[in-house]
């Protein structure tokens, strides 16, 4: 392997002698001769004849073998060998069990009846029956019916014994040699062999012929007289050695810079326009502060809180503090009187540019509970200038429920609303604060015509109401049936019973429930054109009006009852019975 080698021999000094240098470069030895003289070299002399080669040194010890290169890629697979002869067939496996019987085919038509055999001679009358005559010849077989459907296949029989293996096919020809794998990494260099002894120096060559090239410089002659003409500038001499470091000079005078002194968080300020005329100050006092550049601005502190306050007002000081710690995080508004004591209230106002402010006020005076007030604080107040608090819980930003202070207070929410109760049990749950205070007041407008209250079902149908005049109206709960034999009336669920097209006697009518004294229920009966008997259980009794016991054909019968819990045996008492004319 050829390698280029460059060696700087300019620093070798050997007083004109010849030196041999041996350089080892990756298992290849180079021998380099360098000649340097202490004086200035003369011109190159003619090349002398080559001396005889020195004896070859003994070979160095063999270095260790390099590591194995990585294996080449697998060669492609050779073509398949010829197919071997087919082996003999295995013995026949056992026959599998028979499949299930197929469905029987349709019976063929009945063959014609064969002729009757001759009648045997009459035997003597006997009390025992004689033998039966011979069987007549069989009739011709009828045509076979269609074959039944194929029965399902029986289970697989056991596998037969494997046949003898066929003779192996001839070996296929070897596939072509795969491509060489990539070159393995170079092995580790072996240890250098020991240096062989130097060969003997060859004999000195004979003197060459006179050269046309000037010989070496002769010795310098004596110095001539000084010339009055300056000679040419000689070449620059070699750099001399660095001199020793001089002694440290004296300390110079203090230059301008940041003056000493000052305390924590003070600023360095200019006293005048003179350079370096500065002093430490606690910061400027300004009437207003404007951040001149555009875009978002942020004022931060690495401390535990940031406060913005005033101390010059006549009633005391107020401060807005930003903090984030357990029990107090976010924005904190504080007020103090001129003596540093608590004020008992904090206002948070919103100036709209008109003649009033809308405030949120927190009061806690004289040790009372804290009160939050919302509304105009100063200036002109009128019905259109009101405070409204909205609660937003939807992505469109519209109010889902809110409170308004213009005497039409409205609360709209999707859950429940409680007055005087922490955990409402209904959509509207009101608890009176005192025995003499009504729980709910529904006050009508002047000349009220609509109902004062309404109870509606999910479809908006009015089930009960309180009219403008104060009358209570309830939609009766009616149980309807067409003809019954026995009837159990659930008096807690129904106010009336309607029976139509009665087609048989009613053998029993029985009440069920827990009625209250003076509860009412009404029955209405009509038969299907024939009078029907009505039987009442002991839960229904006459109460000045006898219990009807039958209908009148095609006529409506109406019977009214009032519950009487004061009787010895409480019961529904009949107070009215009306028969359609």
Summarised one tens digit per residue, pLDDT across range 109-119 is 666 666 666 66
pLDDT band at 51 (very low <50, low <70, confident <90, very high): low
Q: How far is residue 229's CA from residue 180's CA, in Å, rounded to a whole number?
A: 81
DSSP letter at 476? -
Residue 363 is predicted with a pLDDT of 66
pLDDT tens per residue, range 207-231: 666 667 666 777 777 777 777 777 7
Cα(467)–Cα(449) distance, integer angstroms: 8
Please enumerate in sequence order all residues whose Cβ is within 8 A of that of 390, keeping only pairs 6 or more positions apart, or say none.
Answer: 399, 402
Task: Indicate the pLDDT class of residue 479, thresholds 50, 70 and 90.
Answer: very high
- Give the model's confidence band at 282: pLDDT under 50 very low, under 70 low, under 90 confident, else very high: confident
User: Does residue 489 sit in helix, strand or coil?
Assistant: strand
* pLDDT class of 504 with cuts at 50, 70, 90: very high
pLDDT surpassing 80 at residue 520: yes
Q: What totals of helices (H) and strands (E) does the chain contain, helices first?
A: 0, 25
Q: Hey, what are 578's tokens? A: 């009306």
List C-alpha distances in Å: 92 to 85, 134, 167, 407.
21, 53, 22, 106
Q: CA 436, 438, 443 angle in degrees (round to 5)?
A: 135
Mention every residue, 6+ apart, whose C-beta is less than 8 A from residue 249: none
Mean residue pLDDT across the chain? 73
Query: Which has more pLDDT, 186 or 326?
Result: 326
Query: 383 pLDDT exceeds 50?
Result: no
Measured distance CA(578)–CA(271) in Å, rounded: 115
Q: Token pair of 298, please?
A: 């942020």
Helix, strand, or coil (residue 524)? strand
Most confident stretch, 73-77, 355-359, 478-482: 478-482
Q: For the stretch 407-440, what's the b/e string if a residue is b when 16 or more beta carbons lie within 10 angstroms of its beta carbon?
A: eeeeeeeeeeeeeeeeebeeeeeeeeeeeeeeee
> What does the pLDDT read at residue 501?
96
User: For the segment 129-144, what is each residue's pLDDT rounded down to a tens digit?
Assistant: 556 666 666 666 666 6
- Position 511 scores a pLDDT of 97
Q: What is the reported pTM?
A: 0.34
Q: How confident is the model at residue 529 (pLDDT cuts 50, 70, 90)?
A: very high
Q: What is the dihedral of CA 388, 366, 347, 378, to 10 degrees?
A: 70
Examine the pLDDT at 146 and tell me if it is beyond 50: yes
- The structure tokens 């009518």 sit at 509
Domain ranges of the chain: 307-391, 476-579
Q: What residue has token string 């003597």?
A: 124
User: Residue 76 pLDDT > 90, yes or no?
Assistant: no
| Closest to 299 measured CA to CA, from 271, 320, 278, 282 | 320
Return the HEC string of 311-377.
EEECCEEEEEEEEEECCEEEEEEEEECCCCCECCEEEEEEECCCCEEEEEEEECCCCCCCEEEEEEE
Query: Does 87 have pLDDT greater than 80?
Result: no
pLDDT score of 505: 97
State the DSSP code for 171: P
Taking residue 479's Cβ as centre, other Cβ atoms within 10 Å add up to 16
pLDDT of 577:
97
Banded pLDDT at 181 (limits 50, 70, 90): low
Q: Mean per-residue pLDDT for 181-193? A: 68
Nearest by Cα to 571 from 458, 487, 491: 491
| Those residues with Cβ within 8 angstroms of residue 500's Cβ, 6 or more apart along the chain or in another chain | 480, 481, 482, 483, 526
Tens-digit pLDDT profile for residues 4-42: 555 454 444 444 444 444 444 444 444 444 333 344 445
Give residue 118's pLDDT.
65
């Amino acid at each position: 392997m050829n390698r280029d080698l460059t060696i700087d021999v300019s620093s070798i000094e050997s007083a004109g002698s010849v030196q041999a240098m041996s350089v080892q470069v990756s298992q290849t030895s180079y021998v380099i001769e360098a000649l340097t003289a202490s004086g200035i070299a003369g011109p190159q002399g003619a090349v002398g004849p080559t001396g005889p080669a020195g004896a070859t040194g003994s070979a160095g010890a063999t270095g260790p073998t390099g590591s194995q290169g990585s294996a080449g890629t697998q060669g492609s697979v050779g073509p398949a060998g010829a197919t071997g002869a087919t082996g003999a067939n295995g013995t026949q496996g056992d026959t599998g069990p028979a499949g299930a019987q197929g469905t029987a085919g349709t019976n063929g038509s009945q063959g014609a009846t064969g002729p009757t055999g001759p009648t045997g001679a009459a035997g003597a009358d006997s009390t025992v029956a004689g033998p039966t005559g011979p069987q007549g010849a069989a009739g011709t077989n009828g045509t076979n019916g269609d074959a039944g459907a194929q029965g399902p296949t029986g289970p697989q029989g056991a596998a037969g014994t494997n046949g003898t293996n066929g003779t192996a096919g001839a070996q296929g020809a070897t596939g072509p040699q795969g491509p060489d794998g990539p070159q393995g990494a170079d092995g580790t260099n072996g240890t250098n062999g020991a240096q062989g002894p130097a060969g003997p120096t060859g004999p000195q060559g004979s003197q060459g012929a006179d050269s046309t090239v000037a010989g070496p410089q002769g010795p310098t002659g004596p110095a001539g007289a000084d010339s009055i003409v300056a000679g040419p500038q000689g070449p620059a001499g070699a750099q001399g050695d660095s001199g020793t470091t001089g002694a440290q000079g004296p300390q110079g005078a203090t230059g301008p810079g940041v003056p000493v002194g000052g305390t924590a968080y003070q600023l360095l300020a200019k006293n005048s326009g003179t350079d370096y005329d500065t002093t430490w100050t606690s910061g400027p006092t300004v009437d207003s502060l404007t951040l001149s550049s555009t875009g978002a601005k942020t004022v931060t502190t690495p401390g535990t809180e940031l406060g913005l306050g005033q101390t010059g007002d006549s009633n005391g000081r107020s401060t807005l503090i930003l903090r984030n710690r357990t029990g107090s995080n976010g924005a904190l508004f504080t007020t103090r009187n001129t003596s540093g004591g608590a004020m008992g209230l904090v206002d948070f106002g919103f100036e709209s540019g008109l003649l009033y402010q809308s405030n949120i006020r927190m009061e806690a005076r004289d040790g009372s509970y804290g009160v939050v007030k919302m509304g105009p604080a100063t200036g002109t107040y009128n019905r259109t200038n009101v405070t409204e608090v909205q609660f937003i819980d939807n992505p469109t930003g519209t109010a889902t429920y809110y409170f308004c202070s213009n005497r039409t207070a409205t609360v709209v929410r999707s859950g429940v609303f409680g007055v005087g109760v922490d955990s409402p049990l209904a959509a509207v749950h009101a608890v009176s604060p005192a025995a003499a205070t009504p729980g709910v007041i529904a006050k009508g407008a002047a000349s009220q015509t609509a109902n004062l209250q309404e109870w509606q079902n999910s479809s908006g149908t009015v089930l009960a109401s309180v009219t403008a005049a104060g009358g209570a109206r309830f939609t009766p709960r009616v149980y309807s049936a067409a003809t019954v034999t026995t009837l159990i009336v659930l008096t807690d669920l129904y106010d009336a019973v309607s029976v139509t097209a009665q087609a048989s006697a009613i053998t029993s009518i029985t009440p069920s429930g827990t009625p209250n004294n003076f509860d009412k229920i009404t029955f209405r009966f009509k038969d299907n054109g024939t009078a029907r008997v009505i039987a009442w259980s002991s839960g229904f009794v006459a109460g000045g009006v006898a219990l009807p016991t039958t209908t009148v054909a095609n006529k409506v019968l109406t019977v009214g009852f009032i519950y009487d819990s004061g009787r010895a045996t409480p019961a529904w008492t009949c107070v009215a019975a009306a028969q359609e004319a």
